[in-house]
Structure 1
Amino acid sequence: MTPETLVDWYASQQGASFGLGDIIAPMTPPVPARSEWPSISLWVQVDANGGVGAYRIEPGWVRVDEAPPPELINDVSTWVLQTQKRPGLAFTEEPRLTLDEHPTGLAAAGDAGVAQGLAILANHLLARHMQALQLPGLFRVQAPPDAEAWERYRFLLTELGLTPPEELELATLLPLIQAHELAPLLQNLFLELLKPPTDSLQPGGHFGVGVEPYLHGVAAFERYADLFNQRVLWALFTQGKDRKSARSKETIDPRSSECHGRVDWPVLPTGLQEDLQNQAQQLLPQLQERERAHRQAREDYRHLVWLHRCDLTPGQTLRGLVVGVESYGSFVAIQHTPLQGLVHVTALKNDWYEFRPKQQALVGRKTNATFVVGAVMEVVVKGIDYYRQQVDLTLPPDMGDETHEPDASPADA
């Protein structure tokens, strides 16, 4: 796609391909069928222990009607699954538009493990190379969840009888919650902890895939950041300098990772370097805003679909899990859905309830009735606000003066 054309402008405004349910809005027009395509290839050396050694980035061609030998595919697949597979979750409600991580920042568990592992590795190695050569780029960063939010989630898991790790480690935590009877509910609650990943002019850590630095570079037809980063690499291929000056005898190979740590000069011509930096600075807020809009649309769509699917009606009795307690009431996650509702403290009759933050509980002063995080309880739908995507809950008429504490067997929720 040629820069500064109408198609390129449209793609930059769209930011990325976007899907809701069965509807997909592509970033670019349909791509005509071809037998081969220009590509950027990574040649990676693997050491005896399966670790990644030196690598090269090369321009090349991909023939779409040919496949590597089966033996090579099997060897690569085995290596990826043994060394590059990332802990992830199953995402079934959104179309998969790229081979690397899910929009939440996490890897997606499922059949795409080999392709996903290779794509995430490629993104990481490209980011390392661009950082080492001080090339302008759109890097990908994701901060870890807030410590306070993690402690609240960890408290909930403990109340359910699980033993979560002290520090948030995806490799330990995700299998733990996926093996629980309340796995879908716990997964939804965990996703709410995650901070959204975003593009950045500076390299940094990426919590979801667990590498630093990281960028998007393998899906140029689906994300404009990938397209921009590939253009920077193409500038390196065509105009990159292999020595500090014409008089320098020492040369480097700017396409190889073996030049890392040896470059102390601008690899790109000064004018081109500044032009690409300016382009990245102009693109960044635009792409960030489009991503925020896409993320909000996905979240709104997901909640509206579930509200419609559940067909909730006022007076309907449901079972749910108390996932949060505040002075003004208890938040209850409704069974088998990503929906939550508030049981306001005014619905708790026959007593005055005191909020105890350390115990994450509301406790009645007279009856000592308790509503605590981790309790499975019945609730009644009081009202549904589709515009705000809110569900108001109350208690059944015969409840309100009894204790609601974690059940040793919450499988029914």
Structure 2
Amino acid sequence: MTNKTKKTNTPNIREKDPQKERELTLYENPIPSRELILEVMAEIGIPVKKNDLAGSLDIKEAELIFFEKRLRAMAREGQILINRKDVLCIATKLSLIPGKVMGHPDGFGFLIPDNKEDKDVFLSPREMSKVFNSDRVMIQVTGQDRKGRLEGTIIEILDRANKVIVGRVVQSNGVTIVAAEDKRINQDILIPYDEDMKAEEGQVVEVEITTQPSLREKPMGKIIKVLGSYTDSGIEIEIALRKHHLPYQFSSEALNQANQFGEKIDPKVIKGRIDLRELPLVTIDGETARDFDDAVYAEPIGNEWRLVVAIADVSSYVEMGSDLDKEALERGNSVYFPRRVIPMLPESLSNGLCSLNPQVDRLCMVCDMRIDASGLVTSYEFYSSVMNSKARLTYTIVDEILNKNNLQLTEKYGAVHGDLNNLQSVFKLLFNQRQKRGALEFDSTETSIVFTDNGKIDHIKPIYRNEAHRIIEECMLAANVCSAEFLLDKDVDALFRNHETPTEEKLENLRGFLVEFGLFLDGGNKPTVKHYGQLIEQVANRPDAHLLQTVLLRSMQQAVYSDQNKGHFGLAYEAYTHFTSPIRRYPDLVVHRAIKAKVEHRKLNIKDIAQLGEHCSGTERRADEATRDVESWLKCYFMQDKIGEVYDATVAGVTGFGLFVELDGIFIEGLVHVTELGNDYFTFDKSKHAMIGERTHLSYRLGDRLKVKVVRVDLETSKIDLSLIDAEGKVILTKKPPKTKNHTDRKRNTRKRK
């Protein structure tokens, strides 16, 4: 018996496409949208063959190739399932959940569903043996595990994310085995003897996967590049680039596009721009900065102040959809490693034509603001301009001139001294408004790594923010807020920088923790930033202020990019976006394009703006993870000869498996494992950020001061193991529990069976 496909019998079905207008704007000869395809499949009511579906949608022969591409894209994204008989099924009708695999070093994993409202699904080690971390799959929920978590089975692998893997050769006699540097990939990769490039044990290599993992087959590959050994200078960055799949080489097409602009701006492109070349704009950055996004200038006008923030006009060089644009989009942002930068744009632009270098003409986008005596922005204007920076200043230089009466520097930069005083005056007004808003200010210490000549850490030093940092910060915040207001006022599609209020769960945990200290956070389920600010001010002079500020900070959500404005909680802004760094952040480039299009009365269509926000948020997290990996590796290398040394330390993190503590003076973290805490069973209390002994009730809490000894440094896993030291300088030993009678009997019975 054969099923007959129900026909829609609608001759003009494609005229009723709910996304017809969208498809017309994106494609010259549009085919049915995904929404219409799913709608027709639902009307048919049963799994349908590809040709039958094409007939129902009136697909012409010339359109078949594009129709099949769309179906494959829908399958990759988990909207439909194409079985081995080439029959199409709607994924939701089969109760299938598409998503991304997140592996765990212990062998199990989770499915992170595409639908953010769905819960993560546990994947057993058996299921994880079919895939690598970050693969896209379709799963079916099969029940719950013993912890009450949803558990699933992988039904279909939609996309293999790992074509090339970086790893370490762990065995080279006979069959070569490579262990992935990404510990979320738990399977070793087998390398045939004739595909190993004679790599030696311990070397770091790049492996092209030739056989992906499955239940019946181990993953196999061939070594395509030997990167070097663990002791080679810069190897940690080479590993991070490949481990986190960071694009680090530009295509020849992108490089050619960047180089075609030359070293000087074309005089023809100045026409129609407001000329600010005589305005004494200056850049203020760090000593090692090479790409200068922003320049500033301030002057009094009557009872108000004029603040000019000029930003490199990257959009004039990076055309939407060009090879340069595709490369910038893939990167999402520049990545700043110690001693090396992976730029979002080729250096001929990032350090050259787009960088606001001193004494050269540069194209820029300007936010020209008026600020009243109370520090409020009363009006603003955006326009395209051409400028010429009058000085490349550093934060140190500006602070020395403004606050330390450095006569030598004051004389050297006398031409802009008065302008710096104006900037300082504007800063004080803006900062006054910041305090009125209640924007959060956490007292945290940033660090900088100082290297030896051979590229290893010499020492780590704290970075102290001076007033010059704050001057630039407030100027950039003002321009970013004006940008967000402009986008909302003109109803323009772009990306906002959102920092939402803390979740109810995090607020509940925070309040439970604060009760232990006799503190309370006002505001109910919707506390404002002022409520947080009042609490920070209340605890500022307490000896445990650092602990309390850390817990407050961790109760907040992560800032993300989105096409929907949801405000910025931490900065106390109703709307906020990023406008000031288009050389190194793709969202800023998107905002520039949106503002320019509106100013120039052009229509701009940004494709898949919601997905663009998610992508940029993802590339930002990827960069953070990669730089954190590199710094951890360098710190481990630095600590190799410190085994046996004793340090005073502060508990910086508490987990179920132990305490992360920061060593005084060197700003490096290590782990005191739970088994090193003393002769007791310790339980992790999440709400109290503490490990508490069951018998002794001894507790170790976030912010506690300890004395620790370095006992082990593992360069391969970037881990530093520590043990606790008592007041007399002795290691606190963990005694083994006494042997019970039953335990002895089991051992005796075992010997008899042998």
Q: Please report the TM-score for the alignment, with normalisation by the length of structure 2.
A: 0.40
CA deviation after TM superposition for structure 1 residue 281, in Å: 4.2
- Assess, with a 3 A threshold, how the Cα gap between structure 1 residues 191 and 313 changes in structure 2: closer, same or farther: farther
Whether 1:16 aligns to 2:349 is: no
- Aligned residue number for residue 448 of structure 2: 93
Picking from 689, 708, 717, the partner of 1:379 is 708
Alignment of 1:210-225 (within 5 A): 210-225=572-587
CA deviation after TM superposition for structure 1 residue 118, in Å: 0.8
- Aligned residue number for residue 38 of structure 1: 363
Are the aligned partners of 2:670 and 2:722 in contact in 1 as well (CA < 8 Å)? no
Gaps of 5+ in 1: 96-107, 241-271, 402-413
- Assess, with a 3 A threshold, how the Cα gap between structure 1 residues 133 and 112 changes in structure 2: closer, same or farther: same
Picking from 591, 596, 621, the partner of 1:229 is 591
- The one-letter code matched in structure 1 to 2:567 is G
Are the aligned partners of 1:331 and 1:342 in contact in 2 as well (CA < 8 Å)? yes
Gaps of 5+ in 2: 1-316, 392-412, 451-463, 735-754
Q: C-alpha offsets along residues 47-95 of structure 1, whole Å, 9 cap, x if unaligned?
A: 3433222322223332324899755542342122332366354534389
Are the aligned partners of 2:653 and 2:661 in contact in 1 as well (CA < 8 Å)? no
Picking from 647, 671, 674, the partner of 1:344 is 674
Alignment of 1:173-212 (within 5 A): 195-212=557-574
Q: C-alpha offsets along residues 240-296 of structure 1, whole Å, 9 cap, x if unaligned?
A: 6xxxxxxxxxxxxxxxxxxxxxxxxxxxxxxx35x22x2534533432332221011
Which SS does the other structure have where 1:61 is aligned? strand
Which SS does the other structure have where 2:446 is aligned? coil
Distance 1:348 1:53 in 2: 62
- Aligned residue number for residue 135 of structure 1: 492
Distance 1:311 1:71 in 2: 51
CA deviation after TM superposition for structure 1 residue 136, in Å: 0.3
Which SS does the other structure have where 1:339 is aligned? strand
- The one-letter code matched in structure 2 to 1:78 is S
Picking from 419, 424, 429, the partner of 1:77 is 424
- Aligned residue number for residue 266 of structure 1: none
- Aligned residue number for residue 620 of structure 2: 291
- Aligned residue number for residue 375 of structure 2: 50
Are the aligned partners of 1:141 and 1:206 in contact in 2 as well (CA < 8 Å)? yes
CA deviation after TM superposition for structure 1 residue 132, in Å: 1.9
Distance 2:386 2:417 in 1: 20
Larger Rg: 2
CA deviation after TM superposition for structure 1 residue 192, in Å: 5.7
- Aligned residue number for residue 661 of structure 2: 333
Are the aligned partners of 2:682 and 2:691 in contact in 1 as well (CA < 8 Å)? no
CA deviation after TM superposition for structure 1 residue 235, in Å: 0.9
Alignment of 1:255-404 (within 5 A): 272-273=603-604, 275-276=605-606, 278=607, 280-281=609-610, 283-311=612-640, 315-322=644-651, 330-336=658-664, 337-345=667-675, 348-349=678-679, 351=680, 360=690, 362-365=692-695, 368=696, 370-373=698-701, 374-396=703-725, 399=732
Cα RMSD between the aligned structures?
4.2
CA deviation after TM superposition for structure 1 residue 141, in Å: 1.4
- Assess, with a 3 A threshold, how the Cα gap between structure 1 residues 39 and 50 changes in structure 2: closer, same or farther: same
Are the aligned partners of 1:381 and 1:394 in contact in 2 as well (CA < 8 Å)? yes
- The one-letter code matched in structure 1 to 2:575 is P
- Assess, with a 3 A threshold, how the Cα gap between structure 1 residues 190 and 62 changes in structure 2: closer, same or farther: farther
- Aligned residue number for residue 388 of structure 2: 63
Distance 2:475 2:416 in 1: 18
Moved more, 81-90 or 219-228: 81-90
Are the aligned partners of 1:90 and 1:109 in contact in 2 as well (CA < 8 Å)? no
Q: C-alpha offsets along residues 294-353 of structure 1, whole Å, 9 cap, x if unaligned?
A: 011122122223333344765554433345666x5641413222514133147522x555
Distance 2:465 2:552 in 1: 15
Are the aligned partners of 1:41 and 1:59 in contact in 2 as well (CA < 8 Å)? yes
Distance 1:119 1:109 in 2: 16
- Aligned residue number for residue 25 of structure 1: 342
Q: C-alpha offsets along residues 16-74 of structure 1, whole Å, 9 cap, x if unaligned?
A: 22211121122222223673333322232323433222322223332324899755542
Are the aligned partners of 2:636 and 2:720 in contact in 1 as well (CA < 8 Å)? no
Share of identical aligned residues, percent?
19
Are the aligned partners of 1:185 and 1:338 in contact in 2 as well (CA < 8 Å)? no
Moved more, 84-93 or 65-74: 65-74
- Assess, with a 3 A threshold, how the Cα gap between structure 1 residues 289 and 344 changes in structure 2: closer, same or farther: same
Bigger proportion of residues as strand? 2
Which SS does the other structure have where 1:112 is aligned? helix
CA deviation after TM superposition for structure 1 residue 124, in Å: 1.0
- Assess, with a 3 A threshold, how the Cα gap between structure 1 residues 380 and 209 changes in structure 2: closer, same or farther: same
Which SS does the other structure have where 2:379 is aligned? strand
- Assess, with a 3 A threshold, how the Cα gap between structure 1 residues 134 and 291 changes in structure 2: closer, same or farther: same
Distance 1:11 1:71 in 2: 38
- The one-letter code matched in structure 2 to 1:82 is L
CA deviation after TM superposition for structure 1 residue 216, in Å: 1.0
Are the aligned partners of 1:383 and 1:392 in contact in 2 as well (CA < 8 Å)? yes
Distance 1:385 1:151 in 2: 38
Distance 1:193 1:93 in 2: 26
Which SS does the other structure have where 2:448 is aligned? coil
